[in-house]
Structure 1
Protein backbone atom coordinates (compact mmCIF):
# COMPACT_ATOMS: atom_id res chain seq x y z
CA UNK A 1 0.00 0.00 0.00
CA UNK A 2 2.81 2.45 0.94
CA UNK A 3 4.64 1.74 -2.31
CA UNK A 4 1.50 2.48 -4.27
CA UNK A 5 1.00 5.80 -2.46
CA UNK A 6 4.62 6.85 -3.07
CA UNK A 7 4.35 6.04 -6.76
CA UNK A 8 1.39 8.38 -6.98
CA UNK A 9 3.46 11.28 -5.61
CA UNK A 10 5.93 12.20 -8.39
CA UNK A 11 8.15 14.45 -6.28
CA UNK A 12 8.61 11.89 -3.50
CA UNK A 13 9.41 9.19 -6.01
CA UNK A 14 11.86 11.55 -7.68
CA UNK A 15 13.59 12.25 -4.38
CA UNK A 16 13.98 8.52 -3.82
CA UNK A 17 15.55 8.02 -7.23
CA UNK A 18 17.79 11.08 -6.82
CA UNK A 19 18.99 9.95 -3.38
CA UNK A 20 20.11 6.69 -4.96
CA UNK A 21 21.76 8.40 -7.93
CA UNK A 22 23.84 10.82 -5.82
CA UNK A 23 25.92 8.00 -4.39
CA UNK A 24 26.88 6.97 -7.90
CA UNK A 25 27.56 10.55 -8.95
CA UNK A 26 29.78 11.27 -5.95
CA UNK A 27 31.83 8.12 -6.32
CA UNK A 28 32.13 8.24 -10.08
CA UNK A 29 32.64 11.92 -10.84
CA UNK A 30 34.30 13.51 -7.81
CA UNK A 31 37.07 11.78 -5.90
CA UNK A 32 39.30 13.87 -3.67
CA UNK A 33 42.85 13.67 -5.02
CA UNK A 34 45.82 13.87 -2.69
CA UNK A 35 49.17 15.27 -3.72
CA UNK A 36 51.45 12.31 -3.15
CA UNK A 37 53.49 12.31 -6.37
CA UNK A 38 52.88 15.91 -7.52
CA UNK A 39 51.36 14.60 -10.73
CA UNK A 40 47.78 15.60 -10.03
CA UNK A 41 46.11 18.07 -12.33
CA UNK A 42 44.26 20.89 -10.61
CA UNK A 43 40.75 21.56 -11.86
CA UNK A 44 38.64 24.15 -10.10
CA UNK A 45 35.55 22.46 -8.63
CA UNK A 46 33.11 25.26 -9.49
CA UNK A 47 31.44 23.15 -12.16
CA UNK A 48 30.75 20.39 -9.66
CA UNK A 49 29.49 22.97 -7.17
CA UNK A 50 27.09 24.48 -9.68
CA UNK A 51 25.95 21.08 -10.92
CA UNK A 52 25.04 19.98 -7.41
CA UNK A 53 23.10 23.15 -6.57
CA UNK A 54 21.27 23.50 -9.88
CA UNK A 55 20.41 19.82 -10.08
CA UNK A 56 18.85 19.70 -6.63
CA UNK A 57 16.75 22.79 -7.30
CA UNK A 58 15.56 21.60 -10.70
CA UNK A 59 14.79 18.09 -9.47
CA UNK A 60 12.65 19.28 -6.59
CA UNK A 61 10.73 21.77 -8.72
CA UNK A 62 10.13 19.56 -11.74
CA UNK A 63 9.96 16.05 -10.30
CA UNK A 64 12.88 14.88 -12.47
CA UNK A 65 15.58 12.53 -11.23
CA UNK A 66 18.60 14.16 -12.90
CA UNK A 67 20.31 15.62 -9.84
CA UNK A 68 21.76 14.54 -6.47
CA UNK A 69 20.38 14.88 -2.95
CA UNK A 70 22.58 14.36 0.10
CA UNK A 71 21.60 12.03 2.87
CA UNK A 72 21.31 13.78 6.23
CA UNK A 73 24.44 12.06 7.60
CA UNK A 74 26.61 12.36 4.47
CA UNK A 75 29.65 14.62 4.78
CA UNK A 76 29.89 17.47 2.28
CA UNK A 77 32.79 17.17 -0.14
CA UNK A 78 35.23 20.05 -0.48
CA UNK A 79 33.65 20.99 -3.82
CA UNK A 80 30.27 21.41 -2.14
CA UNK A 81 31.56 23.94 0.37
CA UNK A 82 30.93 27.60 -0.36
CA UNK A 83 31.33 30.63 1.90
CA UNK A 84 30.67 34.25 1.04
CA UNK A 85 33.97 35.75 2.23
CA UNK A 86 34.34 38.51 -0.33
CA UNK A 87 35.43 40.96 2.39
CA UNK A 88 38.72 39.01 2.74
CA UNK A 89 41.19 38.95 -0.16
CA UNK A 90 44.94 38.86 -0.86
CA UNK A 91 45.37 42.54 0.07
CA UNK A 92 43.47 42.17 3.34
CA UNK A 93 45.59 39.19 4.33
CA UNK A 94 48.73 41.21 3.61
CA UNK A 95 47.40 44.22 5.55
CA UNK A 96 46.42 42.10 8.56
CA UNK A 97 49.79 40.36 8.63
CA UNK A 98 51.81 43.56 8.31
CA UNK A 99 49.73 45.35 10.95
CA UNK A 100 50.26 42.58 13.50
CA UNK A 101 53.94 42.00 12.76
CA UNK A 102 53.45 38.57 11.16
CA UNK A 103 53.40 39.10 7.37
CA UNK A 104 51.29 36.60 5.47
CA UNK A 105 53.39 33.94 3.70
CA UNK A 106 56.58 35.05 5.46
CA UNK A 107 59.11 32.60 6.89
CA UNK A 108 57.80 30.87 10.00
CA UNK A 109 58.92 28.20 12.46
CA UNK A 110 57.44 25.51 14.68
CA UNK A 111 57.72 25.74 18.45
CA UNK A 112 57.89 23.05 21.11
CA UNK A 113 54.46 24.15 22.37
CA UNK A 114 52.31 24.74 19.28
CA UNK A 115 49.26 25.99 21.18
CA UNK A 116 47.74 28.25 22.45
CA UNK A 117 47.89 30.81 19.65
CA UNK A 118 46.27 34.24 19.80
CA UNK A 119 44.11 35.52 16.96
CA UNK A 120 42.15 38.66 16.14
CA UNK A 121 38.48 39.47 15.55
CA UNK A 122 38.69 41.43 12.31
CA UNK A 123 36.41 43.94 10.62
CA UNK A 124 32.69 44.68 10.66
CA UNK A 125 31.94 41.04 9.87
CA UNK A 126 33.85 39.87 12.95
CA UNK A 127 36.09 37.41 11.13
CA UNK A 128 38.20 35.16 13.35
CA UNK A 129 41.68 35.52 11.84
CA UNK A 130 44.77 33.70 13.10
CA UNK A 131 48.34 33.21 11.89
CA UNK A 132 49.55 29.59 11.94
CA UNK A 133 52.77 27.95 10.77
CA UNK A 134 52.36 25.59 7.82
CA UNK A 135 54.64 23.10 6.06
CA UNK A 136 54.45 20.28 3.52
CA UNK A 137 53.52 17.43 5.91
CA UNK A 138 55.46 14.80 3.99
CA UNK A 139 58.64 16.82 3.47
CA UNK A 140 60.32 17.89 6.74
CA UNK A 141 62.91 19.96 4.86
CA UNK A 142 60.26 22.08 3.13
CA UNK A 143 59.94 25.75 4.10
CA UNK A 144 57.72 26.69 7.04
CA UNK A 145 55.36 29.54 6.17
CA UNK A 146 53.24 31.93 8.25
CA UNK A 147 49.67 31.59 6.96
CA UNK A 148 46.74 33.75 7.99
CA UNK A 149 43.60 31.63 8.32
CA UNK A 150 39.97 32.49 8.80
CA UNK A 151 38.63 30.15 11.48
CA UNK A 152 35.22 28.84 10.39
CA UNK A 153 33.41 26.23 12.49
CA UNK A 154 30.73 26.14 9.79
CA UNK A 155 33.19 24.56 7.37
CA UNK A 156 34.16 20.94 7.82
CA UNK A 157 37.06 21.13 5.34
CA UNK A 158 40.21 23.23 5.51
CA UNK A 159 41.22 25.27 2.46
CA UNK A 160 44.32 27.04 1.16
CA UNK A 161 44.25 29.72 -1.53
CA UNK A 162 46.50 29.41 -4.56
CA UNK A 163 49.05 31.97 -3.32
CA UNK A 164 49.56 29.94 -0.15
CA UNK A 165 49.95 26.66 -2.05
CA UNK A 166 52.44 28.23 -4.46
CA UNK A 167 54.52 29.58 -1.58
CA UNK A 168 54.79 26.15 0.06
CA UNK A 169 54.81 23.82 -2.94
CA UNK A 170 55.83 25.98 -5.88
CA UNK A 171 53.76 27.13 -8.88
CA UNK A 172 54.23 23.88 -10.79
CA UNK A 173 52.38 21.79 -8.21
CA UNK A 174 48.71 21.82 -9.25
CA UNK A 175 47.00 19.20 -7.11
CA UNK A 176 43.46 19.50 -5.74
CA UNK A 177 44.41 18.49 -2.18
CA UNK A 178 47.50 18.63 0.03
CA UNK A 179 48.64 17.21 3.34
CA UNK A 180 49.89 20.08 5.50
CA UNK A 181 51.43 20.28 8.95
CA UNK A 182 49.56 23.15 10.60
CA UNK A 183 51.18 24.76 13.68
CA UNK A 184 52.15 21.32 15.02
CA UNK A 185 55.04 19.76 13.08
CA UNK A 186 53.62 16.28 13.73
CA UNK A 187 50.18 17.08 12.35
CA UNK A 188 48.94 15.98 8.94
CA UNK A 189 45.88 17.97 7.84
CA UNK A 190 44.15 17.46 4.50
CA UNK A 191 43.70 20.85 2.80
CA UNK A 192 41.81 21.60 -0.42
CA UNK A 193 42.10 24.52 -2.83
CA UNK A 194 39.92 27.53 -1.97
CA UNK A 195 37.33 28.28 -4.63
CA UNK A 196 34.11 30.09 -5.53
CA UNK A 197 33.28 33.02 -3.17
CA UNK A 198 36.29 32.36 -0.91
CA UNK A 199 39.03 31.76 -3.49
CA UNK A 200 41.39 34.28 -1.83
CA UNK A 201 40.97 32.98 1.73
CA UNK A 202 42.70 30.31 3.80
CA UNK A 203 40.01 28.61 5.90
CA UNK A 204 40.64 26.51 9.01
CA UNK A 205 37.70 24.12 9.29
CA UNK A 206 36.25 21.83 11.94
CA UNK A 207 37.95 18.63 10.81
CA UNK A 208 41.38 20.24 11.22
CA UNK A 209 40.47 21.74 14.60
CA UNK A 210 39.35 18.34 15.87
CA UNK A 211 42.54 16.67 14.62
CA UNK A 212 44.66 19.41 16.17
CA UNK A 213 42.56 19.09 19.36
CA UNK A 214 41.99 22.83 19.64
CA UNK A 215 39.00 24.98 20.50
CA UNK A 216 38.15 28.69 20.44
CA UNK A 217 38.65 30.33 23.82
CA UNK A 218 38.83 33.75 25.53
CA UNK A 219 36.85 35.65 22.89
CA UNK A 220 36.92 39.36 23.76
CA UNK A 221 35.00 41.88 21.67
CA UNK A 222 36.57 44.96 23.28
CA UNK A 223 40.11 43.77 22.69
CA UNK A 224 39.16 42.20 19.32
CA UNK A 225 40.93 39.05 20.42
CA UNK A 226 40.44 35.28 20.69
CA UNK A 227 42.60 32.25 21.29
CA UNK A 228 43.00 28.75 19.85
CA UNK A 229 43.95 26.41 22.67
CA UNK A 230 44.40 22.69 23.13
CA UNK A 231 41.34 20.96 24.53
CA UNK A 232 41.84 19.81 28.09
CA UNK A 233 41.76 16.03 28.58
CA UNK A 234 40.47 16.38 32.14
CA UNK A 235 36.86 17.11 33.09
Structure 2
Protein backbone atom coordinates (compact mmCIF):
# COMPACT_ATOMS: atom_id res chain seq x y z
CA UNK A 1 0.00 0.00 0.00
CA UNK A 2 1.43 3.35 -1.01
CA UNK A 3 1.77 6.07 1.61
CA UNK A 4 2.23 8.80 -0.97
CA UNK A 5 0.49 9.05 -4.34
CA UNK A 6 1.88 11.30 -7.03
CA UNK A 7 -0.11 13.38 -9.42
CA UNK A 8 0.70 12.79 -13.06
CA UNK A 9 3.38 15.16 -14.29
CA UNK A 10 3.89 16.30 -17.90
CA UNK A 11 7.66 15.91 -18.04
CA UNK A 12 10.45 14.05 -16.32
CA UNK A 13 14.00 15.14 -16.97
CA UNK A 14 16.15 13.43 -14.34
CA UNK A 15 15.94 11.25 -11.28
CA UNK A 16 16.77 13.17 -8.16
CA UNK A 17 14.25 13.08 -5.35
CA UNK A 18 11.89 10.67 -3.67
CA UNK A 19 8.53 10.58 -5.41
CA UNK A 20 6.80 7.51 -4.01
CA UNK A 21 7.47 5.73 -0.73
CA UNK A 22 6.36 2.23 0.22
CA UNK A 23 4.78 1.40 3.58
CA UNK A 24 7.30 0.48 6.21
CA UNK A 25 10.25 2.13 4.48
CA UNK A 26 12.24 3.84 7.22
CA UNK A 27 13.92 7.25 7.13
CA UNK A 28 17.28 5.50 7.67
CA UNK A 29 16.77 3.33 4.60
CA UNK A 30 15.60 6.35 2.63
CA UNK A 31 18.77 8.29 3.46
CA UNK A 32 20.96 5.33 2.54
CA UNK A 33 19.06 4.90 -0.73
CA UNK A 34 19.57 8.56 -1.66
CA UNK A 35 23.29 8.38 -0.81
CA UNK A 36 23.75 5.23 -2.87
CA UNK A 37 22.00 6.75 -5.86
CA UNK A 38 23.77 10.11 -6.02
CA UNK A 39 26.22 8.97 -8.68
CA UNK A 40 23.88 6.70 -10.64
CA UNK A 41 22.97 7.46 -14.22
CA UNK A 42 19.34 7.15 -15.22
CA UNK A 43 17.52 7.18 -18.49
CA UNK A 44 14.15 8.76 -18.92
CA UNK A 45 11.48 6.03 -19.08
CA UNK A 46 9.22 5.94 -22.13
CA UNK A 47 6.19 6.17 -19.89
CA UNK A 48 6.37 7.65 -16.41
CA UNK A 49 3.07 6.04 -15.42
CA UNK A 50 4.13 2.59 -16.66
CA UNK A 51 7.50 2.96 -14.98
CA UNK A 52 5.90 3.81 -11.66
CA UNK A 53 3.16 1.17 -11.90
CA UNK A 54 5.43 -1.67 -12.98
CA UNK A 55 8.07 -0.87 -10.37
CA UNK A 56 5.60 -0.63 -7.50
CA UNK A 57 3.60 -3.69 -8.57
CA UNK A 58 6.80 -5.73 -8.94
CA UNK A 59 7.95 -4.77 -5.47
CA UNK A 60 4.59 -5.43 -3.84
CA UNK A 61 3.86 -8.73 -5.63
CA UNK A 62 7.26 -10.16 -4.75
CA UNK A 63 7.04 -9.08 -1.14
CA UNK A 64 10.17 -6.97 -1.52
CA UNK A 65 10.62 -3.59 0.06
CA UNK A 66 13.01 -2.03 -2.43
CA UNK A 67 12.50 1.49 -1.16
CA UNK A 68 11.36 4.58 -2.98
CA UNK A 69 11.02 5.13 -6.69
CA UNK A 70 13.24 8.06 -7.56
CA UNK A 71 12.70 10.73 -10.15
CA UNK A 72 12.56 14.48 -10.42
CA UNK A 73 10.19 16.89 -12.13
CA UNK A 74 11.31 20.40 -12.99
CA UNK A 75 9.35 23.11 -11.16
CA UNK A 76 7.29 25.35 -13.40
CA UNK A 77 8.46 28.95 -13.51
CA UNK A 78 6.02 31.69 -12.54
CA UNK A 79 5.41 32.69 -16.16
CA UNK A 80 4.45 29.09 -16.98
CA UNK A 81 1.59 29.19 -14.48
CA UNK A 82 -1.88 30.02 -15.74
CA UNK A 83 -5.29 29.71 -14.11
CA UNK A 84 -8.59 30.49 -15.77
CA UNK A 85 -10.33 32.40 -12.98
CA UNK A 86 -13.06 34.26 -14.83
CA UNK A 87 -15.28 34.25 -11.72
CA UNK A 88 -12.87 36.32 -9.60
CA UNK A 89 -11.63 39.86 -10.24
CA UNK A 90 -10.87 43.02 -8.29
CA UNK A 91 -14.57 43.77 -7.80
CA UNK A 92 -15.12 40.26 -6.46
CA UNK A 93 -12.33 40.76 -3.91
CA UNK A 94 -13.82 44.11 -2.89
CA UNK A 95 -17.28 42.55 -2.49
CA UNK A 96 -15.93 39.65 -0.41
CA UNK A 97 -14.06 42.07 1.82
CA UNK A 98 -17.17 44.22 2.29
CA UNK A 99 -19.45 41.27 3.03
CA UNK A 100 -17.10 39.78 5.62
CA UNK A 101 -16.05 43.03 7.23
CA UNK A 102 -12.38 42.85 6.20
CA UNK A 103 -11.87 45.24 3.26
CA UNK A 104 -9.48 44.03 0.61
CA UNK A 105 -6.30 46.16 0.71
CA UNK A 106 -7.48 47.77 3.94
CA UNK A 107 -5.28 48.39 6.96
CA UNK A 108 -4.16 45.20 8.67
CA UNK A 109 -2.01 44.13 11.60
CA UNK A 110 0.10 41.18 12.65
CA UNK A 111 -0.69 39.16 15.76
CA UNK A 112 1.56 37.23 18.11
CA UNK A 113 -0.05 33.98 16.92
CA UNK A 114 -0.43 34.31 13.15
CA UNK A 115 -2.33 31.06 12.66
CA UNK A 116 -4.91 29.58 12.52
CA UNK A 117 -6.86 31.86 10.18
CA UNK A 118 -10.42 31.22 9.03
CA UNK A 119 -11.34 31.42 5.37
CA UNK A 120 -14.47 31.06 3.24
CA UNK A 121 -15.52 28.69 0.48
CA UNK A 122 -16.74 31.16 -2.11
CA UNK A 123 -19.25 30.79 -4.93
CA UNK A 124 -20.48 27.88 -7.00
CA UNK A 125 -16.90 27.02 -7.96
CA UNK A 126 -16.00 26.54 -4.29
CA UNK A 127 -12.99 28.84 -4.27
CA UNK A 128 -10.95 28.80 -1.07
CA UNK A 129 -10.61 32.48 -0.17
CA UNK A 130 -8.76 33.82 2.85
CA UNK A 131 -7.63 37.23 4.06
CA UNK A 132 -4.01 37.45 5.23
CA UNK A 133 -1.91 40.37 6.44
CA UNK A 134 0.90 41.39 4.10
CA UNK A 135 3.87 43.72 4.44
CA UNK A 136 7.22 44.30 2.78
CA UNK A 137 9.48 41.66 4.32
CA UNK A 138 11.84 42.91 7.04
CA UNK A 139 10.33 46.42 6.84
CA UNK A 140 8.40 46.73 10.12
CA UNK A 141 7.57 50.41 9.60
CA UNK A 142 5.90 49.82 6.22
CA UNK A 143 2.09 49.53 5.91
CA UNK A 144 0.41 46.21 6.76
CA UNK A 145 -2.31 45.43 4.24
CA UNK A 146 -5.27 43.02 4.31
CA UNK A 147 -5.06 40.87 1.19
CA UNK A 148 -7.71 38.40 0.07
CA UNK A 149 -6.04 35.34 -1.47
CA UNK A 150 -7.28 32.40 -3.45
CA UNK A 151 -5.67 29.31 -1.88
CA UNK A 152 -4.57 27.07 -4.73
CA UNK A 153 -2.58 23.89 -4.06
CA UNK A 154 -2.29 23.36 -7.82
CA UNK A 155 -0.08 26.45 -8.03
CA UNK A 156 3.48 26.12 -6.81
CA UNK A 157 4.06 29.88 -6.95
CA UNK A 158 2.36 32.68 -5.04
CA UNK A 159 1.05 35.68 -6.96
CA UNK A 160 -0.03 39.23 -6.15
CA UNK A 161 -2.03 41.35 -8.57
CA UNK A 162 -0.84 44.82 -9.50
CA UNK A 163 -3.23 46.66 -7.17
CA UNK A 164 -2.04 44.58 -4.23
CA UNK A 165 1.64 45.22 -4.98
CA UNK A 166 0.94 48.94 -5.23
CA UNK A 167 -0.84 48.90 -1.86
CA UNK A 168 2.11 47.14 -0.20
CA UNK A 169 5.06 48.74 -2.00
CA UNK A 170 3.65 51.97 -3.36
CA UNK A 171 2.57 52.92 -6.87
CA UNK A 172 4.48 52.46 -10.11
CA UNK A 173 6.17 49.22 -9.10
CA UNK A 174 7.67 47.51 -12.11
CA UNK A 175 9.43 44.42 -10.71
CA UNK A 176 8.17 40.92 -11.48
CA UNK A 177 8.94 39.47 -8.05
CA UNK A 178 8.65 40.75 -4.49
CA UNK A 179 9.54 39.43 -1.03
CA UNK A 180 6.56 39.79 1.29
CA UNK A 181 5.81 38.91 4.89
CA UNK A 182 2.48 37.07 4.72
CA UNK A 183 0.49 36.75 7.98
CA UNK A 184 3.67 36.04 9.94
CA UNK A 185 5.78 39.19 10.36
CA UNK A 186 8.97 37.10 10.27
CA UNK A 187 8.15 35.32 7.04
CA UNK A 188 9.79 36.04 3.69
CA UNK A 189 7.61 34.76 0.86
CA UNK A 190 8.56 35.09 -2.79
CA UNK A 191 5.62 36.60 -4.67
CA UNK A 192 5.21 37.02 -8.40
CA UNK A 193 3.00 39.37 -10.39
CA UNK A 194 -0.34 37.84 -11.37
CA UNK A 195 -0.77 37.60 -15.12
CA UNK A 196 -2.70 36.11 -18.01
CA UNK A 197 -6.16 34.75 -17.06
CA UNK A 198 -5.72 35.52 -13.34
CA UNK A 199 -4.22 39.02 -13.51
CA UNK A 200 -6.73 40.36 -10.95
CA UNK A 201 -6.32 37.56 -8.40
CA UNK A 202 -3.94 37.06 -5.47
CA UNK A 203 -2.95 33.39 -5.29
CA UNK A 204 -1.44 31.64 -2.28
CA UNK A 205 0.53 28.71 -3.68
CA UNK A 206 2.16 25.59 -2.32
CA UNK A 207 5.66 27.01 -1.78
CA UNK A 208 4.25 29.72 0.46
CA UNK A 209 2.14 27.24 2.41
CA UNK A 210 5.19 25.04 2.95
CA UNK A 211 7.29 28.02 4.03
CA UNK A 212 4.56 29.15 6.42
CA UNK A 213 4.09 25.54 7.59
CA UNK A 214 0.33 25.66 7.22
CA UNK A 215 -2.26 23.23 5.94
CA UNK A 216 -5.93 23.36 4.98
CA UNK A 217 -8.19 22.10 7.75
CA UNK A 218 -11.80 21.93 8.91
CA UNK A 219 -13.60 22.31 5.59
CA UNK A 220 -17.33 22.69 6.12
CA UNK A 221 -19.58 22.59 3.06
CA UNK A 222 -22.73 23.76 4.81
CA UNK A 223 -21.11 26.73 6.52
CA UNK A 224 -18.79 27.47 3.54
CA UNK A 225 -15.83 27.57 5.86
CA UNK A 226 -12.25 26.32 6.09
CA UNK A 227 -9.12 27.10 8.08
CA UNK A 228 -5.39 27.52 7.49
CA UNK A 229 -3.57 26.14 10.50
CA UNK A 230 0.04 25.64 11.48
CA UNK A 231 1.29 22.11 11.05
CA UNK A 232 2.02 20.56 14.43
CA UNK A 233 5.65 19.59 14.92
CA UNK A 234 4.95 17.47 17.98
CA UNK A 235 4.68 13.70 17.66
Structures share a fold, TM > 0.5? yes
Look up the match of 1:213. 213
Whose strand proportion is higher, 1 or 2? Answer: 2
C-alpha distance in 2, partners of 1:152/1:180?
Answer: 18
The root-mean-square deviation of aligned C-alpha atoms, in Å, is 1.4
C-alpha distance in 1, partners of 2:204/2:158?
Answer: 5
C-alpha distance in 2, partners of 1:209/1:168?
Answer: 20
Look up the match of 2:136. 136
Shift of 1:72: 5.6
CA offsets 1:114-145 (integer angstroms, 9 cap, x no match): 00000000000000000000000032211000
Shift of 1:171: 1.4
Q: Structure 2 unaligned runs (5+)? A: 1-12, 14-70
CA offsets 1:5-37 (integer angstroms, 9 cap, x no match): xxxxxxxxxxxxxx8xxxxxxxxxxxxxxxxxx
Shift of 1:187: 0.1
Matched, 1:119 2:115: no
How many equivalent residue pairs?
Answer: 167
Shift of 1:234: 2.2
Pairing 1:68-217 to 2, within 5 Å after superposition: 73-217=73-217
* Larger RCO, structure (CA 8 Å, separation 6 or more): 1
Q: Structure 1 unaligned runs (5+)? A: 1-18, 20-70
C-alpha distance in 2, partners of 1:182/1:103?
Answer: 17
C-alpha distance in 2, partners of 1:86/1:192?
Answer: 20
C-alpha distance in 2, partners of 1:72/1:184?
Answer: 31
TM (norm. structure 2) is 0.69
CA offsets 1:169-192 (integer angstroms, 9 cap, x no match): 111221000000000000000000
Verify the 8 A CA contact 2:118 2:225 in the aligned structure 1. Answer: yes
CA offsets 1:43-84 (integer angstroms, 9 cap, x no match): xxxxxxxxxxxxxxxxxxxxxxxxxxxx96110000000011
Verify the 8 A CA contact 1:152 1:204 in the aligned structure 2. Answer: yes
C-alpha distance in 2, partners of 1:160/1:113?
Answer: 24
Verify the 8 A CA contact 2:151 2:203 in the aligned structure 1. Answer: yes
Verify the 8 A CA contact 1:157 1:207 in the aligned structure 2. Answer: yes
Whose helix proportion is higher, 1 or 2? Answer: 1
